[in-house]
Amino acid sequence: MASSEAQSRAILAQIQKPYANSEKKLITEAFEFANEAHKGQKRAGGEDYIVHPLRTALTLRQMELDAQTIQAALLHDTLDDTTATKEQIEERFGKNVAFLVEGVSKLGKIKYRGVERHAENVRKMLIALAQDFRVLLIKLADRYHNLQTLDALPIAKQKRIALESLEIYAPLAFRFGVSELSKKIEDLAFKYCYPQEYQMILENVQARYPEREKYLDIVRPYVQKQLIKEGIRPLEIQTRAKHYWSLYDKLKRYHMNWDAIYDLVAMRIIVASIEECYAALGIIHKLWKPLPGRIKDYIALPKPNGYQSIHTTVFCLPMGDLPKGDKGGHITEFQIRTKEMHEAAENGIAAHWLYREKDKPKQGARLEGQKFEWIKQIRQWQNETKESADFLENLKIDVFSNRIFVFTPKGDVIDLPEQATPVDFAYSIHSTLGDTCSQAKVNSEVVRLDQTLANGDMVEIIKDAKKHPSRDWLGFVKTNIARSHIRAHLKKARREEKIQEGETLLNKELERLNQGSWGAIPPNRRAKALQNLPYHTEQSLLAALGEGEISPYRVVKYVTDEKEILAQRAIPMAYGERGDKTSGIELAGSRGIKTRIALCCSPLPGEKIQGYVTTQAYAAIHKIRCPSFMRVSVKNPERVVPAAWQPKAGSRFVKIKIAAFDRVGLLQEVSSAISNMGINILSVSSKESGEPDVTILITMEVFDVDQLRLLLKTLEKIKSVREAKRI
């Protein structure tokens, strides 16, 4: 116990070393709180739990982060694994620390159980870091130590954590420029994700590294001597061994050819200024011939994550200072940068952070300049993309992919993902340019819009105001911003088309009922329709009509006199003389008698009917078994007239009753079934018949009894519908 306590105190002392006394006190308080909260807890490997937050905090101290971040790192597991509350942390350590601790806590809630949850974890992390990027840095340091102790976990859990680290956390760390931590996470995860490949790399590296390191140990003093001779005094010259995962990834691109890997161990020269970077490059090229196409100037054109350096690969030929018998001839990569560039390359976003007041970070960690401008898109993405899997896919393309640099005709540099097209380029400049993109020129040559761009291309977009985005573009664009704008335009165009279709349908219905057109309806009556229907604007109402969400009659009945409409619809089918095709009814042996459908039973074409001549000298048409008809026919049998339906008949109003078990979506399925049969719904009402039953009453227009029978059978097939019948 004493030794564990001593170990914890020793790590705490390492963490506190660079901070002021007042900050050391704050860090100690956070340690004491966490130590007490985790008291008695052990990690899977058997060590005291407090060692994990201490190691996490130590990693962040090495990145030179502020005392608040160190406090949050020490406390980051207290909300999940102890009885401590957010309120306690906020009261003791302030709102900023509490926010960071809660942010890290939220990220750990969802584990990798498939794409959906995995993506949701990433979504939450990005939303949090859009407010304060220190949440991500703490999570990265937390993940780094968890990977170091992964051996203690079951194999399945090792695989899950390693895969998530390799696919999400390491690429995100790299995108933020925290390259050193990113590489360490990759190497640790590599071992568990691809154990056979890892072992192959390890064995080859162990055989090749010593020779390369020995050679560069000889080259280093020679290079330093030549630089000093030319008036450049390097601050430091290092050798940098390539990380295992990066090496494996590069070998795959070179078909596992080890002889094509020139930066197994590279030489890194750190100088005082940018001028000296270029001067040093000239001296290296004066000493040895560079390989064509292997000079990369990331100072003039920084990587999207802010990385700056000059890379060159040279034929490092024999030198006079080499030991006797060493012919040299090794191809060697040199990296040349300033001290500031080196710190930024190691710690990325942590080296660029700003506070409104350095010692009073009231607003949280802010992002500097345009190096991390892409982070500001995160909130917009998560609002636009409803499905988490889609969000993750967009993120992988726009954030985690390899990048290329292309130029505008004015020389501006545009950062795009690999395999981007001229359309992606156009939308990255401006949405209007993308929407009106008709042609593209790459390096002064006209190309197809789906042409894949390459690093260094000069791209010019030819626009046409009459041109609009095509649905085909969605098949080849690579950036989320292009895809979002194309979909938005297509949605808008479809909406305008549906508005026109809706107005056409509405006008046809109004004209059929002798009610004029939609444009002639007074504004106060159109407003009445909006008040009674779930649409806020005329455009949304007309679009719903065009989409088939509602029938034209539902709108018409609110903008005209409904009684007048019903009369217009009913009269042509209710009155007529014998043989009149508009009536649909033939009376045996009677001429000149008008007919009217009896409202008591409302018979439908196909049902057996009889006529009853009323005192008003018209024949009321009843169903044969209508109670009213049976009563009056017994009383006055001489008034009964045989009747039959003609082959062609119009539609009739009918009311049905549906008894069902109530559930979400039931009414929508019923309405869809009726609409799919081309039947017009006039009204719908529902009432509870006792929990959990519901009764739905629907008035509609049908053509004949056969159509009604088919509809009732269809409705009874719907899940939870017990009975559908005519009333």
Q: What is the DSSP string of 104-145?
A: HHHHTTS--SSHHHHHHHHHHHHHHHHH-THHHHHHHHHHHH
Q: Supply the pLDDT for residue 584.
A: 65
Flag whether 521 is in a domain. yes
CATH of the domain at 701: 3.30.70.260
Q: Which domain holds residue 712?
A: 652-726
Give the C-alpha separation, 389 to 706, whole Å: 47
Q: Supply the pLDDT for residue 592.
A: 64
Flag whether 408 is in a domain. no
Which contacts of 85-89 are long-range, i.e. CB under 8 A and separated by 24 or more positions?
Answer: 89/33
**What is the distance, to the nearest Å, from the Cα of residue 436 to the centroid of all Cα atoms in its chain?**
25
Q: Give percent above pLDDT 90 in the chain.
A: 19
Tell me which H or E stretch contains 469.
none
CA distance between the termini of the chain: 83
Q: What is the pLDDT of residues 527-545, one digit of tens each?
A: 888 888 888 888 888 888 8
Of 390, 365, 446, 451, give the one whose Cα is nearest residue 416. 451
User: Is the CA virtual torsion 461, 462, 468, 470 positive or negative?
Assistant: negative
pTM for this model (two decimals): 0.53
Q: List strand residue ranges (DSSP E) for 443-496, in order.
A: 445-447, 459-463
Tell me which H or E stretch contains 407.
strand 403-407
Q: Supply the pLDDT for residue 274.
A: 93
Q: Which residues of 71-102 are buried (b: 16+ CB within 10 A; e: fewer)?
A: bbbbbbbbbeebebeeeebbeebeebbbbbbb
Average pLDDT over residues 675-685: 75
Question: Are residues 57 and 86 in contact, defined by beta-carbon separation less than 8 angstroms?
Answer: no
With a cut of 80, say whether residue 152 has pLDDT above it. yes
Task: Give the number of other CB atoms < 10 A from CB of residue 252.
Answer: 10
Q: What is the pLDDT of residues 320-353, one digit of tens each?
A: 444 444 445 578 889 999 998 888 777 665 554 4
Q: What is the pLDDT of residues 257-286, one digit of tens each?
A: 887 777 777 899 999 999 999 999 999 999
Q: Are strands 437-442 and 413-417 parallel, antiparallel or unpaired?
A: unpaired
Residue finishing a domain among 345, 362, 387? 345
Q: Which residues pair with 696 in a beta bridge?
A: 658, 686
Residue finishing a domain among 315, 345, 375? 345
Which of 233-242, 342-351, 668-677 comes out lowest in average pLDDT? 342-351
Flag whether 447 is in a domain. no
Q: Supply the pLDDT for residue 262.
A: 73
Residue finishing a domain among 345, 366, 385? 345
Regarding whether 151 and 13 lie in a shared domain, the answer is yes
* More confident: 208 or 691: 208
Regarding whether 232 and 111 lie in a shared domain, the answer is no
Question: Are residues 312 and 334 in contact, defined by beta-carbon separation less than 8 angstroms?
Answer: yes
Please give the backbone phi and psi of residue 621, each rounded to the nearest 5 degrees, phi first.
Answer: -95, 120
**Average pLDDT of every residue of the chain:** 79
Tell me the CB-side half-sphere exposure of residue 467, using CA atoms within 13 A. 17
Position 229 confidence tier, pLDDT thresholds 50, 70, 90: very high
With a cut of 90, say whether residue 613 has pLDDT above it. no
Task: Give the number of other CB atoms < 10 A from CB of residue 399.
Answer: 22
Position 125 confidence tier, pLDDT thresholds 50, 70, 90: low
Task: Give the number of other CB atoms < 10 A from CB of residue 609.
Answer: 23
- The structure tokens listed for 87 are 């309120």
Q: Supply the pLDDT for residue 371.
A: 47
Position 107 confidence tier, pLDDT thresholds 50, 70, 90: low
Regarding whether 301 and 156 lie in a shared domain, the answer is no
Flag whether 420 is in a domain. no
Regarding whether 116 and 93 lie in a shared domain, the answer is yes
Amino acid at 274: I
Q: Which residues of 346-373 are buried (b: 16+ CB within 10 A; e: fewer)?
A: bbbbbbbbeeeeeeebeebbebeeebbe
Question: Are residues 211 and 326 in contact, defined by beta-carbon separation less than 8 angstroms?
Answer: no
Q: Which residues pair with 674 in a beta bridge?
A: none
Regarding whether 692 and 629 lie in a shared domain, the answer is no
CATH of the domain at 298: 3.30.460.10
Give the C-alpha separation, 53 to 100, whole Å: 14
Regarding whether 117 and 38 lie in a shared domain, the answer is yes
**233 secondary structure, DSSP code:** -
Tell me which H or E stretch contains 330.
strand 330-338
Give the C-alpha separation, 715 to 670, whole Å: 7
Regarding whether 110 and 77 lie in a shared domain, the answer is yes
Question: Are residues 57 and 70 in contact, defined by beta-carbon separation less than 8 angstroms?
Answer: yes
Average pLDDT over residues 248-260: 81
Flag whether 97 is in a domain. yes
Give the C-alpha separation, 362 to 68, whole Å: 11
Residue-wise DSSP of 19-61: S-HHHHHHHHHHHHHHHHHTTT-B-TTSSBTTHHHHHHHHHHH
Tell me which H or E stretch contains 549.
none
Regarding whether 163 and 22 lie in a shared domain, the answer is yes
Q: Give percent above pLDDT 70 in the chain.
A: 80
Q: Supply the pLDDT for residue 569.
A: 45
Q: Supply the pLDDT for residue 580.
A: 40
Regarding whether 11 and 133 lie in a shared domain, the answer is yes
Q: What is the pLDDT of residues 491-523, one digit of tens each?
A: 888 888 888 888 888 888 787 777 778 888 888
Q: What is the pLDDT of residues 451-470, one digit of tens each?
A: 999 877 889 999 888 888 88
Flag whether 361 is in a domain. no
Question: Are residues 631 and 601 in contact, defined by beta-carbon separation less than 8 angstroms?
Answer: no
CATH of the domain at 52: 1.10.3210.10
Q: Supply the pLDDT for residue 581.
A: 37
Of 62, 77, 69, give the one whose Cα is nearest residue 27. 69
Question: Are residues 645 and 581 in contact, defined by beta-carbon separation less than 8 angstroms?
Answer: no
Position 618 confidence tier, pLDDT thresholds 50, 70, 90: confident
* More confident: 439 or 169: 439
Gyration radius of the chain over CA positions = 39
Residues near 269 by beta carbon (within 8 Å), at least 6 away in sequence: 223, 227, 234, 236, 237, 280, 334, 335, 336, 337
- The structure tokens listed for 45 are 């490997």
Flag whether 98 is in a domain. yes
With a cut of 90, say whether residue 369 has pLDDT above it. no
Regarding whether 597 and 510 lie in a shared domain, the answer is no
With a cut of 60, say whether residue 697 has pLDDT above it. yes
Q: Are strands 330-338 and 265-271 parallel, antiparallel or unpaired?
A: parallel
Average pLDDT over residues 548-574: 60
Regarding whether 162 and 44 lie in a shared domain, the answer is yes
Give the C-alpha separation, 232 to 221, whole Å: 14
Regarding whether 91 and 234 lie in a shared domain, the answer is no
Residue-wise DSSP of 196-215: HHHHHHHHHHHHHHHHHHHH
* More confident: 253 or 389: 253
Flag whether 167 is in a domain. yes
Give the C-alpha separation, 619 to 602, whole Å: 14
Answer whether the bond into residue 292 is a cis peptide, omega within 30°.
Answer: no
With a cut of 90, say whether residue 409 has pLDDT above it. no
Average pLDDT over residues 175-194: 87
Residues near 155 by beta carbon (within 8 Å), at least 6 away in sequence: none
Q: Supply the pLDDT for residue 110.
A: 44
Length of the chain: 727
Please give the backbone phi and psi of residue 11, each rounded to the nearest 5 degrees, phi first.
Answer: -65, -40
Amino acid at 149: T
Q: Are strands 296-297 and 652-661 parallel, antiparallel or unpaired?
A: unpaired
- What is the count of structural domains for the chain? 5
Position 240 confidence tier, pLDDT thresholds 50, 70, 90: confident
SS3 568: helix
**What is the distance, to the nearest Å, from the Cα of residue 681 to the centroid of all Cα atoms in its chain?**
38
- The structure tokens listed for 226 are 């030549």
The structure tokens 């979400």 sit at 664
Q: Supply the pLDDT for residue 582.
A: 37
Average pLDDT over residues 154-165: 87
Average pLDDT over residues 543-567: 70
